[in-house]
Amino acid sequence: MESNRLILASASPRRRELLQEAGYLFEIDPAQKEENRYDFLTGEAKTESLARDKALEVLARHKDCVVLGSDTLVLLEGECLGKPKNEADAAKMLEKLAGRSHRVCTSVCVAREGRVSSFRQVAEVTFRPLSQKEILDYVATGEPMDKAGAYGIQGKAAKFVSRIEGDYTAIVGLPVCRTCQLLQDFGILPKK
């Protein structure tokens, strides 16, 4: 008999919160995949490969469960902006994004023994122009350091965003509506 235990293959507090808010009970077992091993792929394909690999890696440890893997990247004119390496890298990313529009791609993969399904969701975000002081002050908060594109739209960087087009939760890191539909296809329903 198949288990309905759900495992989130991510250490992301944002994904955890979104899944909890949607009413799911789940365990967390983060994947250990090296994200830079897919640097040869384009941004959207990279997120899909990483989401799939994360789900399958964790499924190998929990064969009787349903595993949810996800990956998010910021794409600016063909350049992939992942998590910054350090504060200087974060500041450079924010300088590039200032006063411009960029795409945020989040891919989700759900896997269970013998079955794998995934999708990708893309949204567009526009930043207002930013001063050097605003960028440095934001970087000094530490918030950008574990986020694709060096910002969290749900955090202090919300004041930089002049417009979004698409699914806000996809920008945060987990497109909730489509993820819920996919989990339902795997027999996983919210508990509360």
* Catalytic residue set: 71
- H-type alpha helices, the chain: 13-21, 43-61, 87-97, 132-140, 168-172, 176-185
Cβ-proximal residues to 150 (8 Å cutoff; 6+ apart), any chain = 81, 83, 84, 89, 90, 91, 93, 94, 97, 139, 144
From the list 49, 42, 37, 72, the residue with the least C-alpha distance to 150 is: 72
Alpha-carbon span 121 to 107, nearest angstrom? 6
Helix, strand and coil content of the chain, in percent to the nearest 5, comes to: 40, 25, 35
DSSP string, 135-159: HHHHHHTSGGGGSGGG--TTTGGGG
